[in-house]
Structure 1
Amino acid sequence: MNCFSNMFLACLSVFLLAIACEGFGGRKAGGLTYVNPEDLEVQAYANFAVDEVNKRRNGFFKEKLVEVRQAQSQVVMGKMFHLNVTIQSTLCKKTDNTELEDCKFDQNAKKERCSLRVWVQPFLELGVPVPPTLEDPIICTKESSKISESDSRFQEFEDFRAKFERKYEVNSEEYVQKYYIFSDNMDTAKTYNEMEQGTATYGASKFADMTPAEFKEKHTGLKVDAKKPTPHMRQGKLPASTSPTPASFDWRTKGAVTPVKNQASCGSCWAFSTTGNIEGQWMIKKKHLLSLSEQQLVDCDKLDSGCEGGLPSNAYESIISMGGLEPESQYKYKGVDEKCELDKADIKVYINGSVNITSDESKMTTWLHSNGPISIGINAAMMQFYMGGVAHPFKIFCNPGSLDHGVLIVGYGTKAGIIWGENPYWIIKNSWGPDWGEEGYYLAYRGDGVCGLNTMCTSAEVE
């Protein structure tokens, strides 16, 4: 290649780079990056935007932020925040001196769904910081009291409603409310799909008409601040054998895992994670698989809080105090807090202690292969709309320090990826029934601490 060709290619590269970086109006623009809507900076600029909306409108009452539904940031000679928010009128007049945060919502006013852009410039003009600005256009639409068949997500919502036998009537107040929740959730699922690093897909799971807060309250339940601090447990020893761990392994094929169960609308995941671990330990040591009672833990474990949450580490201690666990067949699951009805004559399984397990995922595979399924904690934020595949979310969507759900690792393997190459994964048994995820299971990427799954690994001991 001659000198002229080299010069031409260099100039072309600079030209294309300039086009890629140039935004509207001559601003230097980068790509959009999704941001956690609960981020304090995002919340601050969303409230700033609503203040600006109030200044520009001729309405009598002040509008107030209800929620930030989605947020993106973009480098544009500073930073541009693209926000999808919900606002609603308050009972405070614009002439009042009441701070907006102290104003109560007018529950009779319709909520509005707004698309806003806030431009934040870090530069100084004559030594004075440039204030943020609310950019045009400002697009707001009022939530309707009726959903039209022509609406973009009407048929998708109807298909969801039929599949999961939702009973709310078309265009009832509950129907409209659930429709808007579903619509927001499908926007979130679309974001998850766009940003997924593995092969997982997200969509209209059976939890698609629940807000994230409602979902977390009813279907998780790991309570790190349970009544009693986490008891100190010995560190579990890795096997002394130097033989290599197999590339894949699944305790389900060894008869050490009971069928997928369903905790229903009770924050008892911690109990299912605990019993799942003990079921595996008992079968491996005693050669007999028994489905054990989660309801016994919900009712009788006084170190934890039943449907209000708990911890496997506390549950192990309680099980030892109670003398063991009854089978599921003797103490059936009801999914509500009830009076303890433990009959010690019906206890069939005991444990001798419990151990912490390494957070090194390579060593976790060795421990699991040699010792059995592992009880873990995980951040379940990404699991609400999970449909299948190997989940490998960015940490911005799934903070590994915010564990809220107890589950059970029963095996591991590797799947070929379409874009990112091989995807080593954990096989995780969940407690939301077989009509969720991969027939009740969650496949999570192995080796990156996905959603904190390696930070609270424990097991009971059976001798």
Structure 2
Amino acid sequence: MTRLLLGLTLLLSVAISAHCLHNVVTGGKSPITAQDAEGGSFQNAITEVTRAYNTYSNSMFHHAMLRYEDAKKQVVAGIRYTFVAVFVETPCRKAVRHYGSPLRWCKEKLSPDAKVYRCPVSVVYRPWSSPRQYEVDRSGLESCQQTRRLKRSEPLQHQVLLGGDSHDIGHYGQFAEFKRAHGKVYASRAEEQRRFAIFRDNMKKAYAYQMLDRGDARYGASVFADLTQEEFRSRYLSPRWDLSRRPAEEAAVPTLGDLPTSFDWREKGAVTEVKNQGTCGSCWAFSTTGNIEGQWFINKKKLVDLSEQQLVDCDKVDEGCNGGLPSQAYKEIERMGGLMKESDYPYRGSDQKCQFNQGKVAVYINSSVAISKDEKAMAAWLVQNGPISIGINANAMQFYLSGISHPWKIFCNPSHLDHGVLIVGYGMKGTEPYWIIKNSWGTSWGNKGYYLVYRGDGTCGLNQMCTSAQVK
């Protein structure tokens, strides 16, 4: 169990678009779609079943898969594929070494009366498990039945075995495009090769997120695709947030009433441009200033770009680039008497000596409140009061590209918050409700710096630490 849990945490957040678990009964089986059939993991499952059949069969000849029938998938601890494999016996002997797939070896040599077998098979795909990502249930292969002879006109569906190997994920051409898109330059050839190896591994993780996500999000070669999980977490995230450190005062639950279908504070002028925290774990400061910028605009009718560096340097409770909490930052802002403008105290992205100037305070706050964890109440509060500072589990964010992200809880623990962001609005895409979240990793990340997350089930803990300053 420990190994499984550790393995699951390796799934991080492609260029492959898939609705693998979308609109599927949780835990139930669903048919393989055309998109699934083109996807690498299902093709690899077919390859693994063929390899297993040839390994455990007593026949002296290799067998190749003609086709699969009645294919279904099911989310378990990974993805279980079940189908009926239809094999044909080839004239290629196992004792003779061949290169390539059995169908490529022997498709021109098949006898028109070759034996055909039907086998009920089950294979579980666990992308985090190395080196055995595919586990084939041998019991089905041991119960194969010869059903008939091959028909002379019967086509060979060998195309399902081509291009399905993991070598196609994270290839060097994709890495070259990633470097070009994000201006990546490495100090040496050896460092570039090391980053390419990390990139390949990350693309497999991103592909796993793509397969398992319940929304329509795309995961792939984001700006962080050449970083290890440890590098990403240490540079861009905070230590796990203490969920007990919420403001003592609870915000009044607003009247829910009839909320608009969509709402966006960016359209009202209450949100500054997307910023970039760099390699400093100061997300908490950006979440805090974003909230106060909105509060000041709504109450004072003026949008002011505020200084995160002041919080990094002068907040005596939080830990600058090593992390912090908006709930604590509000109190420190009250102690200091307010926040300076970004232009007067510019962001450096590292811990500096405090240079706070009381004479240049641009905004103040009066208090802070904790906001309801109920997402309908959150939406009502946002519409009536402004953007909300939140914490979130950033597991799925390293490789996020676009679309509505909706990871399963087992891959994005809602109690493990490690990143501060800002909810600025919400919307609907078809029947899918989502939050609009402003991040602090620059506009080259995600959807021009924004993250769309499923709204309604506490995805990645986004409703666990909702707070706001109050300006009167």
Q: TM-score, normalised by structure 1?
A: 0.68
Query: 1:288 is paired with a residue of what secondary structure?
Result: coil
Distance 2:214 2:126 in 1: 23
Q: Distance in 2 between matches of 1:224 and 1:368?
A: 22
Alignment of 1:309-324 (within 5 A): 309-324=323-338
Is the contact between residue 299 and residue 337 of structure 1 (CA under 8 Å) also seen in structure 2? yes
Q: Spell out the pairing of 1:133-144 with structure 2 (5 A cutoff).
A: none
Task: Give deviations 1:327-382, integer Å, cap 9, x for gaps.
Answer: 10100000000000000000010000000000100111100000000000000110
Q: 1:152 to 1:431 in 2, by over 3 A?
A: closer
CA apart distance, 1:230? 2.1
Question: Quick one: which amino acid aligns to residue 336 of structure 2?
Answer: M
> What is the match of residue 160 of structure 1?
178
Pick the aligned partner of 1:256 from 257, 267, 270. Answer: 270
> Per the alignment, do residues 231 and 411 of structure 1 end up closer, same or farther by CA in structure 2, a change over 3 Å counting?
closer
Residue in 1 that maps onto 2:197: 180
Is 2:428 the counterpart of 1:399?
Answer: no
Distance apart, 1:224 and its partner CA:
2.0
Tell me if structure 2 keeps the 8 A contact 1:222–1:270.
no
Letter in 2 for 1:333: Y
Once the two structures are superposed, residues 212-251 of structure 1 have per-residue CA deviations (whole angstroms, 9 ceiling, x without a partner) of 121111112255259xx726421101335x6421111000
Which residue pairs with 1:235 in the alignment? 250
2:439 pairs with 1:430? yes
Matches within 5 A, 1:253-332: 253-332=267-346
Q: Which residue of 2 aligns with 1:444?
A: 453
| Helix, strand or coil at the partner of 2:273 | coil
Q: Could you tell me how far 1:191 is from its partner in structure 2?
A: 1.2
Distance apart, 1:395 and its partner CA:
1.3
Q: Are 2:225 and 1:215 aligned? A: no
Residue in 2 aligned with 1:198? 215
Q: Indicate if the aligned counterparts of 2:127 and 2:204 stay in contact, CA closer than 8 A.
A: no
- For 1:426 and 1:387, how far apart are their aligned partners in 2? 16
Contact 1:222–1:406 (CA under 8 A) maintained in structure 2:
no
2: CA distance, partners of 1:217 / 1:310: 13
- 1:364 aligned to 2:378? yes
Distance of aligned partners of 1:224 and 1:365 in 2 relative to their CA distance in 1, 3 Å threshold = same
Name the SS of the counterpart of 1:396 in structure 2.
helix
The alignment of Structure 1 onto Structure 2 pairs a total of residues equal to: 338
Q: Return the alpha-carbon distance in structure 1 between the equivalents of residues 305 and 127 of structure 2.
A: 48
Indicate the SS of the match to 2:420: strand
Alignment partner of 1:455 is 2:464: yes
AA aligned opposite 1:286: K
Distance 1:294 1:256 in 2: 17
Q: Deviations over 1:108-144 (max 9, x none)?
A: xxxxxx44677999xxxxxxxxxxxxxxxxxxxxxxx
Greater shift in the superposed pair: 161-170 or 392-401: 161-170
Between the two proteins, what is the percent identity of the paired residues?
52
- 1:237 partner letter: A
The answer for the alignment partner of 1:409 in structure 2 is: 423
Q: Do the aligned partners of 2:170 and 2:204 also contact (CA within 8 Å) in 1? A: no
- Secondary structure of the 2:284 match is helix
Q: Which residue of 1 aligns with 2:61?
A: none
| Structure 2 contact 289–308 (Cα < 8 Å) conserved | yes
User: Given that residues 84 and 115 in structure 1 are in contact (C-alpha distance below 8 angstroms), is that contact kept between their aligned partners in structure 2?
Assistant: no
1:388 equivalent among 381, 402, 413: 402
- The aligned amino acid for 2:264 is D
- Amino acid corresponding to residue 447 of structure 1 in structure 2: G
SS at match of 2:339: coil
Does the C-alpha gap of structure 1 residues 272 and 317 become closer, same or farther in structure 2, counting only changes over 3 Å?
same
Unaligned 5+ residue runs, structure 1? 1-15, 17-22, 37-75, 87-113, 122-147, 417-421
- What is the Cα deviation at residue 454 of structure 1? 0.5
Q: Is 1:244 the equivalent of 2:262?
A: no
In 2, the alpha carbon distance for the partners of 1:120 and 1:305 equals 51
**Aligned pair in 2 of structure 1 residues 151, 321: CA closer, same or farther (>3 Å)?**
closer
Matched to 1:186, the amino acid is M
Which residue in the other structure is 2:393 paired with? 379
Give how far 1:177 is off: 1.1
Counterpart of 2:305 in 1: which secondary structure?
A: coil
How far 1:81 sits from its partner (Å)? 8.0
Match of 1:48 in 2: none
Higher relative contact order (CA 8 A, sep 6+): 2
- Cα distance between partner residues in 1 of 2:402 and 2:128: 27
Does the CA contact (< 8 Å) of 2:277 and 2:283 recur in 1?
Answer: yes
1:39-86 alpha-carbon deviations (Å, 9 max, x no partner): xxxxxxxxxxxxxxxxxxxxxxxxxxxxxxxxxxxxx99x97857667
- In the alignment, the residues of structure 2 paired with residue 258 and residue 414 of structure 1 have an alpha-carbon distance, to the nearest angstrom, of 23
User: 8 Å contact 1:401–1:452 — kept in the other structure?
Assistant: yes
